[in-house]
Chains A and B, each alone.
Chain A
Amino acid sequence: MSYIVEMKDIYKSFGDIEVLKGFNLKLREKEKVVIIGPSGSGKSTVLRCINRLEPIQRGSIIFAGDEITTKTDLCMLRTHIGMVFQRFNLFPHKTVLENIIEAPTIVKKMPLDTAKDIAIQILDRVGLADKQSSYPKELSGGQQQRVAIARALAMSPKIMLFDEPTSALDPELVGEVLLVMKDLAMEGMTMVVVTHEMDFAREVADRVIFMDQGIIVEEGTPHEFFANPACERTKMFLKRIKH
């Protein structure tokens, strides 16, 4: 069995604070994993280690068979890993279309016309074909997040990482973003999603992981996980976020 991502015994600290304490995760191609856990448990840090936004102190990370733990040329690696942020992080000085074609043209040196064609196709997929010449600030939060997803997809990544993609959104805008993510899941994208949207986890995830204090406390299929959580901490957490 081959894995697209393998994180083995990861230790990560910020100064004196140890955030990941022997974290392990293996991800198969096309697998959809949802990570939940209390604030500060290290969920974002896990995602940021996968594309090496954060250096780690110990352990090893393997991406698509390549050891990347100490790799120094990270640009190529990152083109394969799409990342979607809680706060969208669109480029405010560029239009929607420019946001999407930026990396394909600059990093992949794709011809402008090709990049535009691809961008328009992807915009169509996320339901924003008519917004290509708007600036980010002219869009709602939900629209901005969909553009951010489109921007990541334009690089044809092998895997997509989502860090609480809907938690900065007004409740009525959450649905449209989750819908795009569900479509993506259906098309077979490998996904790691940090979210507190339990319905999304139930519907989409192959595996749900509960993290606390820098390690995986419990994991399982959504069915097992939500019906019979084994650990007391998981039960308490699930009870808490229901309210």
Chain B
Amino acid sequence: MNLDYSIVIAKFPILLEGCWVTLQISFFSLLLGMIFGIAGALCRISSNSILNSLAFLYVWIIRGTPVMVQLFILYFGLPQLGIKLSSMTAGILGLAINTGAYITEIIRAGIQAVDKGQMEAAVSLGMNYRQAMVRIIGPQAAKICIPPLVNQFIMTLKNSSIASLVTIVELLRTGEQLIYTTFRSFEVYTTIAVLYLIMNSFFMVVADKLEKRMARQ
């Protein structure tokens, strides 16, 4: 066995650049995914049957197909219809659409887990639907949603490695390029694994702090 991490260490700045791209993809797809998810959840609980069905369809299609296929449709498929997206746009949009479907379900479940008596108490006091959602139901649902949302954030960060398949040079792709030149598969892949772990641990710590802070209420 001859393990040699010195090559990895020498090329570490390149890997960090890969991390940066991974973080960017993850950040923007999560941001967009949250917007899709909140909108999707509000549609899912709305009494408007068209919005409701559209959101249902969205979740059904996305959850039932592989994220890789979704990205390929956006990046390799759409140009055939004359819509050409840059690899970064396709990557972020694809991941956002994907994670948004899961977030829709998380937020819908969170809102529905809030005791029905809360909405009744709020409207009995004269609040309208929007006031009750924003001030009474929302904060309680948010608390319920944090653990599954953290899971979903972690999932999305890991899924960002799939963006390497639409030619985005993120962490995994950076590592693979390093392997072509150094032939150090084990060292490079284990280093990448550790870097993913560190990034995800950051999420976990922040989530933990947030949960503790909300625990008193």
Contacts and interface: CB of A to CB of B under 8 A. Distances in A.
Given A89-B118, A92-B217, A107 B125 contact: yes
Contacts of B126: 75-76, 78-79, 103, 107-108, 155
Given A75-B127, A151-B125, A155-B125, A93 B117 contact: no
B124 A53 contact: yes
A186 interface: no
Contacts of B117: 85, 87, 89
Interface string A93-117: 1100000001100111000000000
A106 B118 CA distance: 16
B216 to A, nearest CB: 7
Interface in A50-69: 51, 53
B217 A81 contact: no
B115 interface: yes
Given A89-B117, A89-B118, A91-B118, A135 B124 contact: no
A92 B140 contact: yes
B77 interface: no
B139 interface: yes
A135 B215 CA distance: 11
Contacts, number: 63
B136 A91 contact: yes
B146 to A, nearest CB: 13
A85 B116 CA distance: 12
Nearest to B129: A75
Contacts of A75: 123, 126-128
A9 to B, nearest CB: 25
Contacts of B49: none
Contact of A102 (B120, B128, B135): B135
A40 B65 CA distance: 47
B121 interface: yes
Given A93-B139, A93-B140, A93-B143, A85 B123 contact: no
Interface string A115-143: 00000000000000000000100000000
Contacts of A81: 124
A135 B216 CA distance: 8
B53 interface: no
A20 interface: no
Contacts of A82: 124
A155 B124 CA distance: 11
B151 to A, nearest CB: 23
Contact of A78 (B118, B124, B217): B124
Contacts of A85: 117, 120-121
A83 interface: yes
A81 B216 CA distance: 32
A148 B143 CA distance: 23
Given A53-B124, A79-B125, A102-B135, 16 more contacts: A53-B120, A78-B124, A78-B125, A85-B120, A87-B117, A91-B118, A93-B139, A102-B136, A106-B131, A107-B126, A107-B131, A135-B216, A135-B217, A148-B121, A152-B125, A155-B126
Interface of A: 51, 53, 74-76, 78-79, 81-83, 85, 87, 89-94, 102-103, 106-108, 135, 148, 151-152, 155
8 contacts: A53-B123, A89-B117, A89-B120, A89-B121, A91-B118, A103-B126, A107-B125, A152-B125
